Structure 1
């Protein structure tokens, strides 16, 4: 479907906003014109009804008949026009282009009707005492031109309304402009290379960047996965274990995320496309799930395949819950890590305090990398941490879609529960997201880790009182298995003032200062 671009099409209101002119100005002017015409009609009746002798009318019956026809015709015009004017007003305020279209179609007919009535008065009758026929002709011409201009303006307004409805429709295909925006980026008023990457975040400039198709596009016939056996499902679709055949011919095990067109409306699908584009610019990091590519040939129909690194052990939350019976605790009742047990060997099924500390450090390392790129995760939790076969923690499922569009609207549209237990105070109160709000969520994630997957704030419900409780100092309880040094760090991450929370760089340095990660035997690496 070809639609005119709002930025480039001709504005019939000399640059004024149609959304202000049409609903507010035109109905008022139209109403005033009709009432002015009604005044002229009444004046004509009173001034000319008893002027038969002055006009020396020879055929009184014909005179009365013609004049009554003109008066009656114009009276009908006023009544009908007011009705159509009401439809225009309702159509503008209810954003119903069908009602506006009725006015657009009916008004030219009404114009022709009233012009005929006026021309009859000009050619055959006397209209108002003291007003000559040329003056009335100019008045009629002005009225016709003005009404035609109004129709022209309202027509453009109706087309804009139809575009808005089409663009906001949840079930539609992407337009050519939307596809080009993803593939080529928006044309900026400056050179993209002139952006200061030290002060401009990746999210600020990603809309100007193009999708690196030559590096990440995967041919559909190179990808195999069983659609009858999904690994899991999310807000938009399902995740499958698949096989990718690269150029060298070897088969690589991958994770394939599909996007269901019925569950992802256009707004959220475009956010997913932008999230994919951001992922292509993130680069590689040992604690981020790597993007291998995507199939974007059918994005016009809101169909997308995202291929990423396969993490065999699944998400961290499920592993923590499942390992409770095999957990080896090295922290005593005073929160002190007992170093005398660090050389104990375990089977791969066991999870120990050392694993919890290592995952905490790896998550902080991945977040430090995002922080350096000025990218906000927005949905940090153990459910969004994946583990490789070697138990390495990797961040996934960035909440970028929630940040690209109004978070509350996103949650409402997707029927997705707000992850309020993990959100910072400022995120809950103002829907504000930053790296410092990620620091808060990181501490809540640590609470999950050192309680082996327990839900934060048990017994609480999300309501306004919960936000008030956070402002008053409510925080998750101290986890049973957390070392004292990490608990002190968590308390710093939950400071009410976001400015005094530590950065992820500081958090990584804190782990490095407290624990020696250089020895594989000590830290279970």
Structure 2
């Protein structure tokens, strides 16, 4: 199997039948199709505009006073958005405090941008899973810039962390193992499996929308401020909406259709990001050409040093027919077995 450069792209041959059969949507051995398979719930991306007042009303029940929040270092900054490391004072016992991420905006942020930050921050609200990071509080006091609070994860954004690992890797080959990366993928698949069960469609799964701590625990977050903080990952295809084109399934690009199966496609790309330590997928492809490129059967190339079995998992996620892609629960199982096998070889 020739090692191809990760940045180049290639046509995709059928992954080994063993893996494909195992990841088929019907039964592991393809004997009899399961007829009771639930139909995919498909959502269109609705861009109905919400006013700032409506967005604030939606989060009023988790609003807290500004004086309970102390802003420390700026962790990430875009043209109008910022993420701070912050400290939150406990309401019942002011001597107690906890660390938080604080997403907020600068003075020049427009009302639309503020509204979007608040609206998108609600995506995972009220969901409880060890691999999800929903918002816990907001601050929407008059005269203050709106803030959104999430529990702190001390190694921060997963994409930036992976890129940091890539820099370190040159001097320190022990930096992060393949097994660690597969373990991260399993955690993301677990969080996504929970979302799929709850019929929540993420629509923007990517390494940039995950965070990590020093125990290599990974959690999926919403995509509030991502377009501003990672502008190179979003493209406007002439419809006035910035979309994560390189992570999107064909049906999402062409028909604006989103489902758990389109989240599975994005998971395949996220797995590729893990294995390349944060490279940009489809980096040489014009965003306007993406749909045609995918339709012609082309996909991102197998990363250097990525085992065939793992690339076969990614490839299954990129089946053109949404029904043929594996379910998140199957991905968890498959990656867990692969992780165990890696452990056995050490």
What corresponds to 1:431 in structure 2? 256
TM-score for both structures, normalised by structure 2:
0.72
SS class of match (2:155): coil
What corresponds to 1:285 in structure 2? 129
Pick the aligned partner of 1:460 from 285, 301, 321. Answer: 285
List per-residue Cα deviations over 1:461-481 (Å, max 9, x = no partner).
Answer: 122x33212101010101123
TM-score for both structures, normalised by structure 1:
0.49
What corresponds to 1:294 in structure 2? 138
Pick the aligned partner of 1:323 from 146, 151, 165. Answer: 165
C-alpha separation between the residues in 1 aligned to 2:110 and 2:221? 19
What corresponds to 1:241 in structure 2? 85
Please, which runs of 5 or more residues in structure 1 have no aligned partner? 1-166, 184-209, 329-345
Q: 1:435 to 1:445 in 2, by over 3 A?
A: same
What corresponds to 1:485 in structure 2? 309
Q: Say if 2:235 and 2:244, in contact at 8 Å, map to a contact too.
A: no
Pick the aligned partner of 1:273 from 109, 112, 118. Answer: 118
SS class of match (2:299): coil
Work out whether 1:309 is the aligned partner of 2:151. Answer: yes
What corresponds to 2:192 in structure 1? 367
List per-residue Cα deviations over 1:93-141 (Å, max 9, x = no partner).
Answer: xxxxxxxxxxxxxxxxxxxxxxxxxxxxxxxxxxxxxxxxxxxxxxxxx
Q: Say if 2:211 and 2:220, in contact at 8 Å, map to a contact too.
A: yes
SS class of match (1:257): strand
Point out which structure has higher relative CO (alpha carbons under 8 A, 6+ apart). Answer: 2
Pick the aligned partner of 1:392 from 217, 224, 236. Answer: 217
SS class of match (1:397): coil
C-alpha separation between the residues in 2 aligned to 1:230 and 1:400? 14
C-alpha separation between the residues in 2 aligned to 1:273 and 1:287? 21
Q: 1:454 to 1:427 in 2, by over 3 A?
A: same
TM-fit CA distance, 1:235: 6.8
TM-fit CA distance, 1:399: 6.6
Pick the aligned partner of 1:220 from 62, 66, 70. Answer: 66
Q: 1:460 to 1:174 in 2, by over 3 A?
A: closer
Q: 1:243 to 1:399 in 2, by over 3 A?
A: closer
SS class of match (1:308): strand
C-alpha separation between the residues in 2 aligned to 1:486 and 1:305? 39
SS class of match (2:303): coil
List per-residue Cα deviations over 1:363-416 (Å, max 9, x = no partner).
Answer: 1111111112211211121122211121211112337999xxxx99899768x5
SS class of match (1:366): helix
C-alpha separation between the residues in 2 aligned to 1:478 and 1:410? 27
TM-fit CA distance, 1:443: 0.6
Q: 1:325 to 1:357 in 2, by over 3 A?
A: same
C-alpha separation between the residues in 1 aligned to 2:69 and 2:302? 46
SS class of match (1:287): coil
Work out whether 1:259 is the aligned partner of 2:83. Answer: no
- Across the aligned residues of Structure 1 and Structure 2, the Cα RMSD in angstroms comes to 3.6
C-alpha separation between the residues in 2 aligned to 1:383 and 1:422? 11
Point out the structure with the larger helix share.
Answer: 1
C-alpha separation between the residues in 1 aligned to 2:273 and 2:125? 30
SS class of match (2:245): coil
Q: 1:409 to 1:515 in 2, by over 3 A?
A: closer
List per-residue Cα deviations over 1:325-373 (Å, max 9, x = no partner).
Answer: 6549xxxxxxxxxxxxxxxxx99x7101111110111111111111122
Q: Say if 1:314 and 1:388, in contact at 8 Å, map to a contact too.
A: yes
Q: Say if 1:269 and 1:302, in contact at 8 Å, map to a contact too.
A: no
C-alpha separation between the residues in 2 aligned to 1:212 and 1:410? 35
Q: 1:264 to 1:376 in 2, by over 3 A?
A: farther
Q: 1:238 to 1:523 in 2, by over 3 A?
A: farther
Q: Say if 1:354 and 1:523, in contact at 8 Å, map to a contact too.
A: no
Q: Say if 1:315 and 1:383, in contact at 8 Å, map to a contact too.
A: yes
Pick the aligned partner of 1:445 from 263, 270, 286. Answer: 270
Q: Say if 2:235 and 2:287, in contact at 8 Å, map to a contact too.
A: no
